Amino acid sequence: MSVEQHRREVEALLWPPFAGRGTDRVALADALDRVLSADLLAPVDLPSFRSSQMDGYAVRSADVAPATDGAPVVLPVVAEVPAGPGTPAALAPGTVARIMTGAVVPEGSDAVVPVEDTDAVRFGAYPAGPARGAVGTHVGVLAPRAAGEFVRDVGSDVRGGDLVLPAGTLLGPHHLAAAASCGVASLDVRARVRVAVVSTGTEVVEPGRAAATGQVYDANLHGLAAAARRAGADVVLTGRTGDDPRELAALLARAAEEADLVLTSGGVSQGAYEVVKDTLGDGVTFRSVAMQPGGPQGFGTYEGTPILTFPGNPVSAQVSFVVFARPVLERAAGRPAREVETRTVTGAIDSPPTKQQMLRGRLGPGGTVEVVGGAGSHLVATMAAADALVEVPEDVGRVEAGESVRVVRL
Ligand SMILES: Nc1nc2c(c(=O)[nH]1)N[C@H]1C(S)=C(S)[C@@H](COP(=O)(O)OP(=O)(O)OC[C@H]3O[C@@H](n4cnc5c(N)ncnc54)[C@H](O)[C@@H]3O)O[C@H]1N2
Ligand code: MOO
């Protein structure tokens, strides 16, 4: 069975239920990296009031038209308008109001002169007593301002009813800032795919405890759960069993109940204690895919919930996830499809011409990739030194240094 054929069958199993998931209403604080499920229309105009873009003086542009550096237009300062709630009094002709950035521009005023273009004492540096430019004194305007200058008009960002964020937007910080600016506190987003991860093996123990000879620490519970989260899924259950099918069946029943997808590790090859194979019934197809690592694969449903069974070797489990689960989970999470990436290899690669090899690689400068470590699917520390998988196709026995290969980023 080719890798591509198995990948297509896995996608055909998973995509229909994933595509039909519902909607969650989430607070902005929980909306990062979620996918908007309905268009967000602006409920208000933004800005919602005429506001100043600068610290300075609200003026009538006609009053300051003749102003120059040498011949300032000197006008009385009749009011001060800080940013904050309330409507300032209208500005009479021939007067100015000291105004701060973000404050409401008074009626009667159509421009703001930044304080730098006046002879006022800078706002932050008052001596005791009224300084030039404060309310009750005068200010000299040194340059003209056209009508509208430094005034942020109502609706100049967006009009009420206009589209702010289209459905399908993968929500980043700038999208959340826009929603918040509209006064929107929560958003409708696509429900995340709920994933359960189950690892198996009598020899597998939780990290942090002592391991006897014959025991290994559980790489896959943590590795697969993290991979699912990074692909945009919600990991709702993680659990481990030994090689007892009744124990596994009980855990899988819970997993199938709570999740949209169950991932298992281990127990799928040719040994005497293949607990996953022994527990799963007719709903799951076990097959050998022409890929190394990650050859033994199973897929189907358990009590109505899709399940993928990955081999237990830690590198095999990660590679299986990247090749078979990640594309469909990322699609469900609204992530853009990954582009096919090719790189030139820094050294020759020998490869069995019967299986697609997924070697560990490190991306280098100038579009290169270097194979790191061996091909063994237990070489988990070596995998940690890699940032990509290097694909050597099924029918290729050798790749020469400088030739192109496809790479898949981890
Ligand atoms: N006679 C054959 N033997 C094997 C074949 C085969 O075709 N014929 N395939 C080999 C390949 S390839 C792989 S991959 C493994 C797959 O084995 P299983 O999926 O059944 O996994 P286990 O036997 O349970 O474990 C394999 C290996 O990985 C370690 N392991 C398991 N789970 C974890 C975990 N959660 N964290 C860390 N390490 C784990 C386990 O101790 C074994 O060393 O089968 C080959 N054999
Ligand atoms: O296919 Mo296994 O995953 O090579 O080690």
- ipTM summary value: 0.97
Runs of H (alpha helix) within 298-375:
314-320, 326-332
Expressed in angstroms and rounded, the spacing between residue 195 Cα and the centre of ligand 1 is 22
User: Which DSSP symbol is given to 290?
Assistant: S
Ligand nearest to the backbone CA of 276: 1
Positive/negative CA dihedral, 400, 404, 405, 408: positive
Q: Which atom of ligand 2 is nearest to the CA of 320?
A: 3
Nearest CA to ligand 2 atom 2: 293
Tell me if 216 CB under 6 Å of ligand 1.
Answer: yes
Locate the DSSP E strands across 201-290: 204-205, 216-217, 234-241, 261-265, 284-288
The identity of residue 402, as a single letter, is: G
Domains and CATH numbers, the chain: 3-21+192-332 (3.40.980.10), 23-47+156-190 (3.90.105.10), 51-152 (2.170.190.11), 341-409 (2.40.340.10)
pLDDT in tens, 117-129: 999 866 555 445 5
**Distance set, CA 392 to CA 167, 173, 311, 347, 375 (Å):** 39, 38, 20, 13, 12
pLDDT in tens, 271-296: 777 889 889 978 899 999 999 999 99
Q: Which atom of ligand 1 is nearest to the CA of 240?
A: 35
pLDDT in tens, 16-44: 999 888 999 999 999 999 999 999 999 99
C-alpha distance across the termini of the chain, in Å: 24
Residues of the chain with pLDDT under 50: 126-127
Give the pLDDT score at 126. Answer: 46
CB 268 within 8 A of CB 309: yes
336 class by beta-carbon count within 10 Å (0-12 exposed, 13-18 middle, 19+ buried): exposed
CB-defined site of ligand 2, < 6 Å: 292-295, 311, 313, 316, 377
Give the pLDDT score at 163. Answer: 98
CB 315 within 8 A of CB 381: no
Expressed in angstroms and rounded, the spacing between residue 379 Cα and the centre of ligand 1 is 13
User: Which DSSP symbol is given to 170?
Assistant: B
CB 293 within 8 A of CB 377: yes
